[in-house]
Structure 1
């Protein structure tokens, strides 16, 4: 089956023209290789359904359209050897202008998944293979609960029911009559709206309907309307699909809430990774750099699989525009740019640099990394040593709500069109300059190293001079010192623009604009750097609140009426458990040097193991009466240090006892 969505193309799919090519391998290759012996058929049974966004209040929804399948026009049995294809035609040979590249990632996982329950019908049991017949001239709706959110190709087997209509609607949650969401386990008096398919059976026996693309759902509403024939439902289930990540890391701390957060975050990670990383599976399925950086680090720490990270880095490099910036999400049919995300691409390159030894791969990116930095450098106000006016959408965090006046949100003061001198975006540039300088130094590029280091220091001085408020002891968002946010000060700590002591004010001053789930990734890194890792449990309060609302994945924002129930950037606790609690991080390129500096947060013990390019890192520690005891294991050909309460202990390869 080959298809093209045409004018209904989803955001993350790109195509110019449609074709099919299959190349056989080995002595029997000619049997399957596409040539003039193949036959083709224009399948007119499908038409797109495009009303999903309107159903859910015109939310931004850019995934593939639903499928309307007319069973009377479908070539049933075409996949059988005895099928009569005498009316099918020979294919047209193309000019062969496609540029193919070797697939560097594995095939996606496909596993059958069963619904947990039919919520509104006691007698029907077709979700467990028990046939159920809908009488002629009737209409019946079945509300199915998968129990947890999933991505799956729905598979529906029916018999009879000629001229019937079957509508299948999918969503992450149910809506009230005001199009508001409530507790995710609640179903009474609520409705399922959104992405939907429509299947018109032809009356045949044991027909199987499935979709061209997978659907994301916890709840599914199956509505059957029959005409003169009854319709029998034999089975209904899903074929789960995702990137085939394997969980190799483990973490235990004696805290059931943290265990639950792990499970929900891991499900979030899996549902936000397919042929690429993606921000959310229901609404966009697009690979955004803000999410991707966090996802990639989780992949390294939890699975050890860097293939999707490498693919993402290369994909974004291919998106670099003539002006020197990456697109904010790619692949994508549009040309949307978030300049701050281009900076995060550099930080992501640095992440790879610190966790993998692969100079040949990294060298590919140096020219385009430089283009991004030049774009920003050309926009520095030399009189202030702050960034001047910027173009495009300078998103930082959803802490700044959507503004209809500019048709955008997430933009701090100083970064909107017509504004200047954003301390936050200037510090994001510093953060990227510092990362780039380390990469350049590794490659012996002394001129670039010196330039980026000097420029970062100059911008740090500019931010501190113009934006540090001595009375508050905090950085303001702009030189007028009218607005203060956690974001500016988090970035100030991460870049050494301000001292680590600022973190205590960030954590205590409730007048500051707070971070959302996304930017807590950076808050937690700054906490660890500033020696405030013992405050991490406070940072988890948003995730605990989400669990109390019945979510089975972590959403875009911690609100019951959030748009997306499953958002990749909200899975960051998986990384935090290792980086912050167990305190495992690289201190030299390629993870050749390892630092272990635990933050117990009142937990009785910390047991963590994670994959490393040379083996495995294991931390098995307990804290009692101000002392830490246990063992740390690091892989061959590495060195390390263990840090605890100001004491540093060298680590050698193998298992080492800790008693401090």
Structure 2
């Protein structure tokens, strides 16, 4: 179906841009483009933009798009142009493989054109290849477009491999919306009015050879867009040619609200928004504040749905197992269908980290893992089946689910799972002192061999795996995993429950009252009956002196309270959400923040749009009967 894998001539390097051109005849009918590339592509037919955005994938799980070209075609000769950006180096959004493009153009089942050695190619004009200037280590490279340079001639492409084996994109393609210009609000400052995700575009004039810097961000600081934050550089650059230039980079999606531009006459600047075509549920809760919070929560989910879930569109764009599990859960309430969750879980299931766990983000070549996040992969798989009634996914990937669980099962020592001590395992739980284990990056040795958090989290995951086995009629395995969960709970009760204070400690040496640890104790079943009720009294007591759950883990606190006594705590959960999320709105939020500290957190790098903070999209419908 697809043609051969091809690339432009010359040395292969990371951060490389290529353009491919092919001409074919057309005399009517239905015209379809089949295409896959590494890393991103943008398609133009007869000079008109068609679509952009390769589905993030792995070399062994290559995804193709099937794009209807009929509306862009004309009878006679048609010119197909395809731009490709090859990332080529490790970050949190890309699995490093070799660059290529493969395509075919098909009319009613007959191939009219396909990629091969006759396809013409060259370095993509304007774009500077090999720049390798990071925005962040997670997102990877920025870009530079130089309009003062000449263009290379097209030459025949080189074949770099046979036709790839592919699967059809498992979800819908993103909708590309009309351009959204930003409004000039100050000297060089432009405002989109709200957090937006899309392709950056500009119309500008600058002297020939003059380089201009375009900074972008989610907030202003002293009237400027914060560009340099630590080792991060939120900017891209353009070089003028003395003329008016219209430019759009269809190979990069950015999340932002503000632009700042230096040294140029800006005629227009903004984003061409992209959005996943979810079918949204339209709900009202009889309260203007709650309706607004619910709407912004759904928008926060939408802004973090690219080809897969992202944690935050501005700073990272990473597909984490914990973050996405929360986004999936909230999405079951906010949207009508679940094909997006299914596609995301299938992609995550294709990960092949050498540890047997799920990589810190997917897809990527990173060796790093967060062990607790792999447990949420198991939980998310069970929740997908429970929410959709579809057992095919858990059946298709049961081997993967069980192999992840087996990593923890085989580590059990004296009834508990020890912390992971290898150089690639970060024992992170949430952004609280005592639970983030940031000393990992400074290679600080762990102070304890065991903790309560990992074991309670594992007990929750083994219960989920037991339910998966029940769904698949694996009765004996279901029993084994349920017993494993109960045994872990028993050992946690023996080692980490403090009778005097009535709380679960994170470790034997840390007696602080962590809301997350104790919420896990309730949810895992370690704390039952009167003990669970006592813990929930403390969780709901603002005078308890607890180390509170951050927005990332607040749902576990809410779930523990509602599991123990829904009637008693529903009002507390609603009031708490009204307060926290209403506060963000009062501070001008157009999407919900990574933490309640907003942009000031993480030394000024806190995101103002984070998928895990869309809780109201789930809890308002749950508790208000919608």
Give the TM-score taking structure 2 as reference length: 0.77
Aligned pair 1:510/2:544, yes or no?
yes
Give the secondary structure class of the aligned counterpart of 1:119. strand
* 2:311–2:612 Cα contact (<8 Å) kept: yes
Q: Which residue of 1 aligns with 2:88?
A: 6
* 1:52–1:196 Cα contact (<8 Å) kept: no
Distance in 2 (CA, whole Å) between partners of 1:407 and 1:10 is 17
Q: 1:149 aligns with which of 176, 192, 195?
A: 195
Aligned pair 1:214/2:247, yes or no?
no
Distance in 1 (CA, whole Å) between partners of 2:221 and 2:404 is 43
Q: Which residue of 2 aligns with 1:444?
A: 473
* Pairing of 1:186-205 with structure 2 (within 5 A): 187=223, 193=228, 194-204=233-243
Distance in 2 (CA, whole Å) between partners of 1:393 and 1:152 is 32
- What displacement does 1:200 show? 1.7
Distance change in 2, residues 1:311/1:443 (3 Å): same
Distance change in 2, residues 1:74/1:253 (3 Å): farther
Distance in 1 (CA, whole Å) between partners of 2:204 and 2:418 is 63
* 2:216–2:225 Cα contact (<8 Å) kept: no
Distance change in 2, residues 1:98/1:22 (3 Å): closer
Distance in 2 (CA, whole Å) between partners of 1:326 and 1:400 is 24
Q: Which residue of 1 aligns with 2:554?
A: 520
Aligned pair 1:554/2:592, yes or no?
yes
- What displacement does 1:578 show? 2.1
Distance in 2 (CA, whole Å) between partners of 1:206 and 1:289 is 42
Distance change in 2, residues 1:504/1:320 (3 Å): farther
CA displacement 1:266-318 (0-9 Å, x = unmatched): 22111111011011111111100111011112222211232221122122222
Q: Which residue of 2 aligns with 1:67?
A: 143
Distance in 2 (CA, whole Å) between partners of 1:326 and 1:498 is 29
Q: Which residue of 1 aligns with 2:624?
A: 581
CA RMSD for the aligned pairs? 2.7
Give the secondary structure class of the aligned counterpart of 2:393. helix
Q: Which residue of 2 aligns with 1:173?
A: 219
Segments of structure 1 that go 5 or more residues without pairing to the other structure are 54-59, 76-84, 121-140, 177-186, 226-230, 583-607, 609-660
Distance in 2 (CA, whole Å) between partners of 1:330 and 1:404 is 21
Q: Which residue of 1 aligns with 2:102?
A: 21
* 2:92–2:362 Cα contact (<8 Å) kept: no
* 2:215–2:225 Cα contact (<8 Å) kept: no
CA displacement 1:537-574 (0-9 Å, x = unmatched): 34323323322322221121110303211111111221
* 1:43–1:74 Cα contact (<8 Å) kept: no
Distance in 1 (CA, whole Å) between partners of 2:352 and 2:114 is 36
Give the TM-score taking structure 1 as reference length: 0.74
* 1:268–1:571 Cα contact (<8 Å) kept: yes
Segments of structure 2 that go 5 or more residues without pairing to the other structure are 1-82
Q: How many residues align?
A: 521
* 1:167–1:199 Cα contact (<8 Å) kept: yes
* 1:147–1:218 Cα contact (<8 Å) kept: yes
* 1:49–1:196 Cα contact (<8 Å) kept: no
* Pairing of 1:117-516 with structure 2 (within 5 A): 117-120=183-186, 141-158=187-204, 161-176=207-222, 187=223, 193=228, 194-204=233-243, 207-210=246-249, 212-225=251-264, 233-247=266-280, 249-382=281-414, 385-391=415-421, 392-400=425-433, 405-407=439-441, 417=446, 419-479=448-508, 482-499=511-528, 500-501=532-533, 502-508=535-541, 510-516=544-550
Aligned pair 1:110/2:170, yes or no?
no
Give the secondary structure class of the aligned counterpart of 2:262. strand
Q: Which residue of 1 aligns with 2:73?
A: none
* 1:338–1:393 Cα contact (<8 Å) kept: yes
Give the secondary structure class of the aligned counterpart of 1:430. helix
* 1:158–1:235 Cα contact (<8 Å) kept: yes
Distance change in 2, residues 1:17/1:322 (3 Å): closer
Distance change in 2, residues 1:173/1:447 (3 Å): same
Give the secondary structure class of the aligned counterpart of 1:466. helix
Distance change in 2, residues 1:423/1:405 (3 Å): closer
* 1:192–1:219 Cα contact (<8 Å) kept: no
Aligned pair 1:93/2:132, yes or no?
no
* 1:467–1:480 Cα contact (<8 Å) kept: no
Distance in 2 (CA, whole Å) between partners of 1:488 and 1:235 is 51
- What displacement does 1:52 show? 6.1
Give the secondary structure class of the aligned counterpart of 1:511. coil
* 2:348–2:362 Cα contact (<8 Å) kept: yes
Distance change in 2, residues 1:170/1:451 (3 Å): same
CA displacement 1:412-448 (0-9 Å, x = unmatched): xxxx735223112111111011111111122221221
Distance change in 2, residues 1:408/1:151 (3 Å): farther
- What displacement does 1:11 show? 2.1
* 1:12–1:330 Cα contact (<8 Å) kept: yes
Give the number of the structure whose alpha-carbon radius of gyration is greater. Answer: 1
Which has the larger displacement, 163-172 or 485-494? Answer: 163-172
- What displacement does 1:242 show? 2.9
Give the secondary structure class of the aligned counterpart of 2:540. helix
Distance in 2 (CA, whole Å) between partners of 1:375 and 1:525 is 27
Q: Which residue of 1 aligns with 2:36?
A: none
Distance in 2 (CA, whole Å) between partners of 1:160 and 1:222 is 12
Distance change in 2, residues 1:256/1:27 (3 Å): closer
Distance change in 2, residues 1:110/1:35 (3 Å): same
CA displacement 1:39-86 (0-9 Å, x = unmatched): 112236323666665xxxxxx5422422211113254xxxxxxxxx9x
Distance change in 2, residues 1:111/1:457 (3 Å): same
CA displacement 1:312-336 (0-9 Å, x = unmatched): 2122222143443111310113121
Distance in 2 (CA, whole Å) between partners of 1:268 and 1:488 is 27
- What displacement does 1:480 show? 5.1
